[in-house]
Amino acid sequence: MQRVVGGAVGRWWARLRLDSVSVSPSSPRFLIQRRGAKVLGSEVRPGNMVSRKGRIFQVLKAQHTQHGRGGATIQVELRDVDTAHKLTERFRTDEPIERVFVEEKTFMYLYSEGDLLVLTDPETYEQVEVPKDLFGKAAVYLKEDMTVRVHYFDGRPLSATVPYRVTCTVVEAQAPMKGLSVNPQYKKVLLDNGLTVLAPPFIVAGDKIVVNTDDDSYFTREK
């Protein structure tokens, strides 16, 4: 089985790779080696990779905000793909941002081994291992035989994603919550993956619902 590693799990591997090209071990493992295209701040989306001060960040969230005469900005939550450190920044909507384009590979999720996940190439059936933290909070949605995507830069895994929408089974449903500011008709339901989300009052235990994996929100009940 081929091991593909990243994050804290792969420090020994990254150091070996750095030494092999005569780069100081103290240099960032994901230091940008080639430039991407310039995009406007208004075009930045969650899941994008961007360059900031010579490092690569994954965009986790992007929210458009208006500041009166100050103009519109995009507030983004970024994750350093080397250190996993998160920070929040604001981009002007007309600000040029350097986007890093990565190679995307499709795999099927098989099972987990501690902090590692075993994936298989659907065409070659070659198995690889990647750190669970590549998926971030979305790892909770992983199910056997689920199609996932792993993003590589310079041959190294930077991040991974699950499908945008996933079907989950409701194992417990509370009574509707009165006075909830978002929607008084919504109530909490517990899913088979341990996640609690808000759903309409007609949802009961045993129902299968479709959930948006980017924000853990209810989309529809599966028919």
Q: Which pair of structure tokens corresponds to residue 181?
A: 């500011």
Say how far apart CA 20 and CA 43 lie, in whole Å: 37
Q: Among positive and negative, which fits the CA dihedral 32, 38, 40, 45?
A: negative
Q: Given a cut of 60, is residue 29 above it in pLDDT?
A: no
Of 14-28, 51-65, 145-159, 193-207, the poorest mean pLDDT is in 14-28
Nearest one of 82, 97, 90 to 51, comparing CA atoms: 97
Which domains are seen in the chain, by residue range? 2-6+102-161 (2.40.50.140), 7-100 (2.30.30.30), 165-221 (2.40.50.140)
Burial of 142 (0-12, 13-18, 19+ CB in 10 A): buried
Sheet holding 2-3, edge to edge: 2-3, 127-131, 116-120, 103-113, 147-153, 156-161
pTM of the model: 0.66
Of 11-20, 52-61, 65-74, 187-196, the range with the lowest mean pLDDT is 11-20
The alpha carbons of the chain give a radius of gyration, in whole angstroms, of 20
Q: What pLDDT is attached to residue 143?
A: 96
CA pair distance 181, 144, nearest whole angstrom: 37
Residue 25 has pLDDT above 60, yes or no: no
Is residue 184 very low, low, confident or very high in pLDDT (cuts 50, 70, 90)?
Answer: low
Write a three-state SS string for 159-178: EEECCCEEEEEEEEECCCCC
pLDDT of residue 175: 76
Confidence label for 214 from pLDDT (cuts 50, 70 and 90): confident
Hey, what are 67's tokens?
Answer: 């500041």
List pLDDT tens digits, range 106-129: 999 999 999 999 999 999 999 999
Residues 197 and 155: beta-carbon distance below 8 Å: no
What average pLDDT does the segment 66-73 reach?
76
> Is pLDDT larger for residue 198 or for residue 35?
198
